[in-house]
Amino acid sequence: MTVLRYVPLGVMAVIIGFPIYITVVNSLLSAPQIAARPPTLFPTHPLWGSFSTAFNQAHLGVYLRNSAFVTLMIVLAEVITSVLAGYAFAFMRFPFRRTAFMICIATLMVPMEATIVPNRQTIVDLGWFNSFPALIVPFLASGIGIFLFRQAFLGVPRDLCDAARLDGYGHFRFLTRIVMPINRPLIGAFALYAFLSAWNQYLWPLIVTETSGVRTVQIGLRQLQAANVDQTNVIFAGTVLAALPIFILLVAFQRQLVRGLTAGALKG
């Protein structure tokens, strides 16, 4: 029976999909409607006011803009530094190359959480507390990015390398004209991975910022939850606004997402 095969699928879909569904529904209701029992599971007269309240009064607009800025800067920087270092480790000869590469790999063994106390002090000493550099500068390089790009660049055929040299290509031209275009899928996948990690950061932005002018949207949600206890509709609208950019991005880049998320597994 084909119909029976849909039963476990349907049950799991309801369990997993329901929290997101009810969040969207509740963002279109008023707070008293959300609290009413029996609950409203479908909004017959959707209200859109909670979104503008969340966006303006609860500063979600500012938080989203801050997150977008910080995230884009991090992704751009991580891609550039990782591609350059990955290329150097794969194609260039210099003393202590192996040691330098090992140092980069070793950073994968040091979780960010174990270094927050001294790192916060460093940020304070640099005069960057509660500013964008505090949110960006510590993430200008990525050990996993360097590792992934080096491995991928080592796979570039040697013939191509020799041909480029004969054509008078220097390292920079070889990198930008040949190596990067060949590896565009991996660079895209890494950029998406970097975007998600930067956008979703929570602990670090929490401890190095204190005013809404520089706070990111994840910390903004914390403020929202604390300050709008009675306005559950605004809270739900806020979570929708915070998740929406990621949702759009994931729909647009589904294939890169799968590749990005599985890159570590396939390489490992």
Partner 1 sequence: MIAGAHRRVRSPAVREAALGYLWVLPALVVFAVFVFYPLGKAVWLGLYRTPPFPNLPSKYVGLSQYGSVATSPPFLHSLERTLLFVVLTVPAGIVLGLALAALANQRLAGIRVFRTIFSSTVATSTAVASVIFFTLLDPQVGLFSYWLGKRGGTGILQDPTLALPAVSVVTLWQNIGFTFILMSAALQSIPDDLLEAARVDGASSWIRFRRITLPLLSPTIFFAAVVGVIGSFQAFGQIDLLTQGGPNNHTLVLIYYIYQAAFIDNNYGLAAVMSVILFLILFVLTLAQFWFFERRVFYGRSA
Q: Which of residues 222-261 bind partner 1 (CB under 8 A)?
A: 222, 224-225, 232, 235-236, 238-239, 242-243, 246-247, 250, 257-258, 261
Q: Binding string to partner 1 for residues 136 to 165, with x set by CB under 8 A, is what? A: -xx-xxxx--x-------------------
By beta-carbon proximity to partner 1, the closer residue of 75 and 235 is 235
Residues in Cβ contact with 122 at an 8 Å cutoff, skipping those fewer than 6 apart: none
Q: Rule CB under 8 A: which of 160-179 touch partner 1? A: 171
Shortest separation between residue 213's beta carbon and partner 1, angstroms = 19
- In which residue are the tokens 């006011």 written? 49
**74 touches partner 1 (CB under 8 A):** no
Give me 186's structure tokens.
């991996």
**133 touches partner 1 (CB under 8 A):** no
* Cβ-based neighbour number of residue 119 at 10 Å: 16
From the list 29, 34, 187, 191, which residue makes contact with partner 1 (rule: CB under 8 A)?
34
Q: What are phi and psi of 100, to 5 degrees?
A: -60, -40
- Quote the distance between the C-alpha of residue 213 and its chain's center: 21
Q: Binding string to partner 1 for residues 99 to 128, with x set by CB under 8 A, is what? A: -x--xx--x-xxxxxxxxxxxxxx------
Helix axes 60-91, 217-227, angle to 10 degrees: 150
Q: Rule CB under 8 A: which of 182-221 touch partner 1? A: 196, 199-200, 202-203, 206-207, 217-219, 221
By beta-carbon proximity to partner 1, the closer residue of 69 and 120 is 120
Residues in Cβ contact with 35 at an 8 Å cutoff, skipping those fewer than 6 apart: 232
Shortest separation between residue 14's beta carbon and partner 1, angstroms = 9
Alpha helix (H) residue ranges in the chain: 2-27, 31-35, 49-52, 60-91, 97-106, 116-125, 132-136, 143-154, 158-166, 171-174, 180-182, 184-199, 203-208, 217-227, 232-252, 254-267
The number of residues that bind partner 1 (CB under 8 A) is 86
By beta-carbon proximity to partner 1, the closer residue of 157 and 268 is 268
From the list 43, 62, 72, 81, which residue makes contact with partner 1 (rule: CB under 8 A)?
81
Shortest separation between residue 120's beta carbon and partner 1, angstroms = 8
Q: Specify the stretch interacting with partner 1 by CB under 8 A; choose among 46-54, 95-103, 154-162, 177-185.
A: 95-103
* Closest among 224, 264, 262 to 240, alpha carbons compared: 224
DSSP 179: I
Shortest separation between residue 146's beta carbon and partner 1, angstroms = 6
**88 touches partner 1 (CB under 8 A):** yes
Q: Rule CB under 8 A: which of 8-27 touch partner 1? A: 8-9, 12-13, 16-17, 19-20, 22-23
Shortest separation between residue 143's beta carbon and partner 1, angstroms = 7
Using the Cα atoms of residue 43, residue 47, residue 51 and residue 54 in order, give the sign of their dihedral: negative
Task: Confirm if 240 and 173 have CB atoms less than 8 A apart.
Answer: no
